[in-house]
A and B are shown apart, each in its own frame.
Chain A
């Protein structure tokens, strides 16, 4: 702040700034840097109307490009006249008090400080020199001593220039706690701290760092930030927020950090693992990155709407995760502050148009992800199924004869079947009033009165010689109850008896007895009163000797056709003038068990009376069979043979072998994890520029994938080939891209120092913050890239620096000089992340499970917390056994209702890509640490350890507990405070043993017998107190 340098300014403003003038005059001599000093002012105050958004430029003036700014604007005046602030229109407009002329205009609510105005004035006086935007200029390694020392050298230079000194190295206890939390996410035990404290050999610090970075817990710790960044969660996010299979992706991330995958490989595998040649299972799992976005299963959702949401979500992801660019701002218009055009936005989105996915309600199980052992087992089973399949598929000439026989029999059956002729009766008579309609297909449908019993008499005339049998098809019809074929409410009927006689002139000449009866289906249920215990075909020709509880019926096949075939004992030969009369008796009653629709046929062929084969071959197979063998095509022959194999008893064993092997594969697969992966479609969705981002407007230009115009270097257009995600991924981590390495190292810096070198982690555009120490950022970026994107090397470089090892305490004066510690004259302190709060408490309790990876776990959660979820409603089932005590990183991430304890400690909901979390200090955190069952149980188990491992008397137990949590001895005062609590709680729990028992018996973890409940309860409160301390959850 340099108010004195600015002569125009009114005195009233001075008062505000004089008191804060520590940096007073400090940089007034130093040369101005456009990117550091000027661009942020222009961007914030001016670019919105005088910047890159070509559609919105006002007054014909652009201030983001020097050539344009030096030209006269629409008004004819020139904004910038280098070296002449007094002739520059911009200064006149900044300084005028006329509201019509004033810039920025009053309605923008942008007010420049006197200091900012003076800077602009000086800048013009010095020639109004522009610089390319810092982040778009490739990073160049500054000259400094090589190795770890580089970081410190680059910090010391500016620190000293500002008259500040670095802080001393923190003591070993603090360093151990800092390294443990930062590198593996759990605090050290007192023994580990002493081991480190007593290691006085050179390199002790480096050895600890190496040991921690080699621990599998390192990957779990490092994954947290990445999972926020890519918005990894267990549920789809929108509306019903149902689960999706994706946790193997999380394990990939953990594995990648532990195995130290180079960051370029890590990038390519996630964006385009599926496009790599012969991708491995791991690479496909990594490609699940493209599926992590929010999706919907809402029934009423619009496909186009969500297609556009998914596209924009993915573009924002690339912008946040790798480029540090707010690409999302260019969805509706060219970017206001950065040279990102709407076209760049959509051409970035077009890279993802090939991701195969359903847009709405398209739940996919995902790819199987067996581990090594499961993979072997699966392969064995699959091989087995393959062998069984081949055995079945093989030619099997030994069954050729059977095949021939099968063909002959089927052919014969088909021929016989063709001899049935449906008859139109000469008359249909119902004794009890049912009305009958004969229809075109010769079926006969009942309507009208619905008597409880009925007898239908049909007269068939003009029959040929030699009728051998009768066929009654009962048929469904939509006019009948339950679609028939009977008239009973359930679609059933009972045909109690069928009689046949020859009549002449209305008089019976002779009876025609039946000898055989067959039906394709006979009802076998509700047979208690049926004398045959079956509603059989045979009972319709028994002369009704057994009464009305016998007959033919067809449940449960209501709504389907069925047929009854009756064979005459003697051939039927009619004289002239004689007819055949058929009587269908339906005497069952019980709610109109009468026929609803049927058709009557006769046949002169006895083969069809009791068909050898049933059901007959379906039409398409029958047609092939009826082609003479010599004329069949190979395809027809194969189809026949396949059909034969499916039903021939000769193939039964082979069929079973194949089916069993296939079932074994399917059953085993059901037990395996699955995960969503990216698969490409050959028909990418069409991507159009959506005017104002509106998905309803479908007239915008069609866009192909392309790298951002403002960052792309020459030679990247691939001679007409459509670019794909692999091209994008490779460009993201190419040396031509100035952003990725800087963005990534800046984020890691924040992880280890609490604040980024550029404070705004996700915006390296004009509205972000130019790095406070650009040389350091660039050195790290180049070092990172040139090391082969070696993440462990980068982390090691950071934590081995002297800057990292400084104390985090500072005098009030030091704090006042650099309140945000931007010059890194000390370390920072902060409350640890939500996951680490959990891990820390569980580690004291001894409950923490060390297993790496696996399905997400569900810690205890208040009942009814999910009551506002629906479609479907669901209850939360807390994990049982050791799954209850897994690290925070494995917590079930329900996007719309994230676990309340995680939420209280600012875990990200992972609905959007997030480079940074809040770090709040709110009452809910107190409630969680005091009362959440997970923490109460952890305290109880911690108390148990204090009692069993803490020594022989209360004093040593208190000290043990304190040391376990804080790795230091309590002060006399602290010990006294704790002791007092112990005494109070012991007294009160002793008075109320029932309450003590309830408290001590809380949670799922077991308590050994013989522990006094009141004592355990009192010590649980000691443990709870220690868990609740600010210091316990503060990394310093």
Chain B
């Protein structure tokens, strides 16, 4: 779809003409230009900043419970059996053949056709919090806030290999090119961030060496216009690609160039009267503002020592913990959808050691994020989701690992009106399949959108004659967890 037809659709949908990034009205374009030419005066007037991005769902379909989402993607497929789904029966069955009744006729990634042997949980579990939820004791920090968390122990997904499974988790489809959930969210709700994108992605590596590749398509806007795409803030070099001025060019000299470009564009607009020009002017302003707003955002070293301690990170170290701290800073700045990838969960072997490494890397940081948001009174309107693209088999792979598994795994959510301290659904006694109230990926999407005030069946886009949705043709809001 080209920009023009998109616009029309957009206007049709909202029925009122609104200003949004990428298509500022004439008045706003000039406003933006003037703010660039006289930044101080605007700051003094308490204005300034680039226009916010408006959404297409106006008014919201429901009273929203949450304003934003922080999605913690545990890439590689965490074992639910060494994290959040206790299976004493599996421990008893350790080393014994997996009963046929569980696996007959099922597709299982690399174990297909092999002898299937039960592999007991590799770390002990204990009870946490008032609700007494049983979790692996490696995750004691998350355990300490478990009363804030809703545990969904009956997840299922359609895909069983990393790349398609990520696509399915992120876009609701296994076909490349569909918009990611962050893009859908910003498309629906717009963004309140000034001088920052509405959808931001951060990535971190684990020390175990199983760092799965993650394609940029996982945060792409797909069929939606590019302004809804996720922007990957990088740990090394420019956090946003091409953010820095060329070598030898000062911020001031750069400002001169940007101002001149905008002035010349405005002069040309007076001749040709092309609304794209005012948009272009606004984008140059935004780009220039990002040259200061992004470094300011990334400078987590300015956080008090107590906060750095809480997360257990050295700002700038590129760790998952640092990214959690950045996620909170992004949330404060109005970013709508923040997605963190932490890699290295693909434990085909040495799952015991592997999960222990992961616990060191993510346990404290997750707790810190929840605690920090709560103490700022932001947890109530932030949905946090912790999820892998799938789980892992209760059967052993190669004697020390577990294979990919899509029939049952655990995901947790908290904040943003999600019911705290409850367990939803469950797997069978060996942790193979979700048997109690199974949940599909689309159900999670539908539920998160619901908290944001969106009816998932009404957030759609025409493509090849279909109303394409994040939730495909499925998705049920899980009423009992909201």
Give chain A's interface residues, CB within 8 Å of chain B.
16, 43, 107, 109, 237-241, 294, 296, 298-302, 304-305, 309, 326, 328-329, 336-338, 696, 754-755, 759-760, 762-763, 765-768, 809, 812, 819-820, 829-831, 862-865, 867-871, 895-898, 900-901, 903-904, 906, 909, 911-912, 914, 916-928, 930-933, 936, 971, 973-974, 977-978, 980-981, 984-985, 988-989, 992, 994-1000, 1002, 1017, 1021, 1024-1025, 1028-1031, 1034, 1036
Contact = CB atoms under 8 A, between A and B. Distances in A.
Interface string B376-391: 0000000000000000
Contact of B110 (A109, A239, A299, A909): A299
A920 B231 CA distance: 15
Contact of A897 (B8, B15, B216, B458): B216
Given A305-B160, A863-B236, A1028-B261, A971 B4 contact: no
B161 A296 contact: yes
Contacts of B245: 930-931
B176 A237 contact: yes
B15 A936 contact: no
Contacts, number: 270
A471 B257 CA distance: 90
A497 B253 CA distance: 87
Nearest to A917: B2
A1002 B244 CA distance: 14
A926 B160 contact: no
Contacts of A933: 246
Contact of B244 (A300, A759, A906, A931): A931
Nearest to A298: B161
B208 interface: no
B22 A916 contact: no
B46 interface: no
A762 B462 CA distance: 12
List of 10 A-B pairs having minimum Cβ-Cβ separation, nearest first = A767-B465, A999-B248, A896-B215, A998-B248, A911-B176, A926-B287, A920-B226, A927-B242, A995-B248, A923-B287
Query: Which one of B3, B248, B263 has the highest number of Cβ atoms from chain A below 10 Å of its Cβ?
Result: B248
B465 A922 contact: no
Contact of B163 (A238, A864, A868, A999): A238
Given A239-B162, A1029-B261, 9 more contacts: A16-B15, A241-B215, A298-B162, A328-B464, A922-B22, A1028-B257, A1028-B284, A1029-B264, A1034-B276
Given A109-B457, A831-B276, A239 B163 contact: yes
B14 interface: no
A943 to B, nearest CB: 12
B232 to A, nearest CB: 8
A925 B283 contact: yes
B237 A909 contact: no
A923 B161 contact: no
Nearest to B244: A931
Given A296-B163, A329-B466, A974 B177 contact: no
Contact of A326 (B5, B234, B464): B464
Contacts of A930: 242, 245, 254, 257-258, 287
Interface of B: 1-6, 8, 15, 22-23, 107, 109-110, 112, 160-164, 174-177, 203, 211-217, 220-221, 225-227, 231, 234, 236-238, 240-250, 252-254, 256-258, 260-261, 263-265, 267-268, 272-274, 276-277, 279-280, 283-284, 286-288, 290, 341, 348, 403-404, 457-458, 462, 464-466
A867 B466 contact: no
Contact of A696 (B107, B110, B214, B283): B107
A185 B32 CA distance: 33
Given A767-B465, A862-B238, A930-B254, A868 B264 contact: no
Contacts of B175: 328, 912
B107 to A, nearest CB: 5
B242 A900 contact: yes
Contacts of A999: 246-249
Contact of B109 (A300, A326, A768): A300
Contacts of A1036: 272
Contact of B257 (A328, A338, A901, A981): A981
Given A819-B8, A998-B248, A926 B283 contact: yes
B465 A326 contact: yes
B313 to A, nearest CB: 19
Contacts of B260: 977-978, 980-981, 1025
Given A300-B161, A862-B237, A984-B256, A921 B213 contact: no
B240 A1030 contact: no
A300 B5 contact: no
A864 B465 contact: no
A921 B246 contact: no
A326 B5 CA distance: 20
Contacts of B257: 930, 981, 1021, 1024-1025, 1028
A926 B284 contact: yes
Given A329-B466, A896-B216, A930-B287, A918 B267 contact: no
A863 B237 contact: yes
Contacts of B216: 868, 896-898, 903, 909
Nearest to A1003: B246
Given A912-B176, A916-B1, A984-B256, A932 B242 contact: yes
A922 B2 contact: no
B254 A927 contact: no
Contacts of B236: 863-864, 867
Contact of A977 (B15, B217, B264, B288): B264
Given A337-B465, A912-B176, A1031-B268, A1017 B227 contact: no
Contacts of B462: 767
Contacts of B243: 927, 931
A696 B112 CA distance: 12
A977 B163 contact: no
A724 B369 CA distance: 59
Nearest to A325: B464
23 contacts: A296-B163, A300-B348, A309-B174, A336-B466, A759-B5, A766-B465, A865-B241, A867-B236, A869-B213, A909-B177, A918-B2, A924-B240, A926-B280, A926-B283, A926-B284, A927-B241, A931-B243, A931-B246, A973-B267, A988-B253, A989-B253, A1002-B246, A1030-B277
A1028 B5 CA distance: 26
A864 B238 CA distance: 10
Contacts of A754: 2
Contacts of A978: 260, 264
A326 B462 CA distance: 13
B86 to A, nearest CB: 26
Determine which residue in A696, A819, A916, A981 has the highest number of CB atoms from chain B within 10 A of its CB, and name it: A981
B248 A918 contact: no
Given A300-B404, A984-B256, A763 B465 contact: yes
Contact of A820 (B8, B107, B250, B279): B8
A977 B263 CA distance: 8
B22 A921 contact: yes
A981 B256 contact: yes
A313 to B, nearest CB: 9
A928 B244 CA distance: 10
Contacts of B2: 754-755, 830, 916-919
A331 to B, nearest CB: 10
B1 A868 contact: no
Given A863-B237, A971-B267, A1030-B268, A918 B163 contact: no
Contact of A922 (B226, B248, B254, B265): B226
A698 to B, nearest CB: 10
B241 A900 contact: yes
Given A931-B244, A978-B264, A995 B250 contact: yes
A905 B377 CA distance: 40
Contact of A1017 (B6, B244, B248): B248
A760 B462 CA distance: 10
A896 B241 contact: no
Instruction: Choose among B162, B216, B220, B267 the residue with the greatest number of A CB atoms under 10 Å from its CB.
Output: B216
